[in-house]
């Protein structure tokens, strides 16, 4: 089945550690996105990539890094520089064909312990 | 920059209709979407509408678009407890860069 997969579903990180969230899609989509969602709040864009080997900062990129070495994969690293990383992280992808929608993964809940 | 606004909460009784409203600022928006998020899950697309349409109906869902006022609404007929979720309005200009509203938490009361 085509779709977008995030792993793990739950992740715990000690303060001062970097952690990487996985996002894989088999929809042949060019564009991929990372959003952060805090309780009771909407989605805030962290990074997005419209093509392999290229990505742009979103509204809250500080403390995060990404790579896009393959079309299917867009991992997000939450670095120790991110002061408040506990949140729900959502990955999405969309095609380049006009009128496409964004497809979302099931999310990763990151908790700093 | 672009902005999308929604009321944060809505409560309805089971069987009644729900109407969730959204306003957006980007007059160049060409696609407008409604997504549903259940607890602890990702977002699922419910429906979308092109900016050259003013209405779209899909079973219990009716989307109304007033392009002049930049106002979008989602009506859910015969609301059920399974409709309890957060509903996000979103817009995009090119089908790639999406701007989401803060989400409306719909509570369905028995």
CB contact under 8 A, B43 and A41: no
Q: Which two tokens stand for residue B93?
A: 């200009």
CB contact under 8 A, B98 and A41: no
CB contact under 8 A, B40 and A107: yes
Work out how many CB contacts closer than 8 A connect A with B.
Answer: 59
Q: What is the largest CA-CA distance in chain B?
A: 41
pLDDT (tens digit, 9 = 90+) per residue, A15-62? 889 999 999 999 999 999 999 999 777 899 999 999 999 999 999 999
Residues 6 or more apart from A98 whose CB is under 8 A from it? B94, B95
Rounded to an integer, what distance in angstroms lies between the CA atom of residue A84 and that of residue A88?
Answer: 12
Q: What confidence tier does B52 reach under pLDDT thresholds 50, 70, 90? A: confident
CB contact under 8 A, B42 and A94: no
pLDDT of B108 strictly over 90: yes
Q: Which two tokens stand for residue B15?
A: 């069987």
Question: What pLDDT does residue B3 have?
Answer: 87
Which of A27, A34, A42 should one mutate to test binding to chain B, selecting the residue with the greatest count of B CBs within 10 A?
A42
Average pLDDT, chain A: 92
Residue B101 CB neighbour total at 10 angstroms = 26
pLDDT (tens digit, 9 = 90+) per residue, B55-89? 999 999 999 999 999 999 999 999 999 999 999 99
Rounded to an integer, what distance in angstroms lies between the CA atom of residue A20 and that of residue B12?
Answer: 40
């Amino acid at each position: 089945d085509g779709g977008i997969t995030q792993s793990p579903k739950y992740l715990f990180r000690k303060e001062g550690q970097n952690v990487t969230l996985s996002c894989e899609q088999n929809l042949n989509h060019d564009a991929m996105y990372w959003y952060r969602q805090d309780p009771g709040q909407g989605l805030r864009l962290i990074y997005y990539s419209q093509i392999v080997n290229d990505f742009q900062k979103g509204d809250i990129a500080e403390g995060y890094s990404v790579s896009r070495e393959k079309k299917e994969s867009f991992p997000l690293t939450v670095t120790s520089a991110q002061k408040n990383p506990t949140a729900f992280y959502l990955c999405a992808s969309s095609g380049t064909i006009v009128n496409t929608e964004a497809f979302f993964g099931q999310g990763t809940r990151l908790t700093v312990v | 920059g672009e902005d999308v606004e929604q009321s944060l909460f809505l409560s309805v009784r089971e069987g009644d209709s729900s109407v969730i409203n959204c306003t957006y600022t980007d007059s160049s928006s060409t696609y407008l979407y409604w997504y549903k998020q259940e607890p602890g899950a990702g977002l699922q697309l419910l429906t979308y509408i092109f900016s050259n349409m003013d209405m779209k109906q899909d079973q219990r869902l009716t989307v109304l678009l007033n392009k002049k006022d930049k106002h979008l609404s989602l009506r859910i007929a015969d609301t059920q407890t399974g409709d309890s979720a957060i509903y996000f309005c979103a817009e995009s200009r090119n089908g790639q860069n999406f701007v989401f509203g803060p989400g409306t938490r719909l509570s369905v009361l028995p």
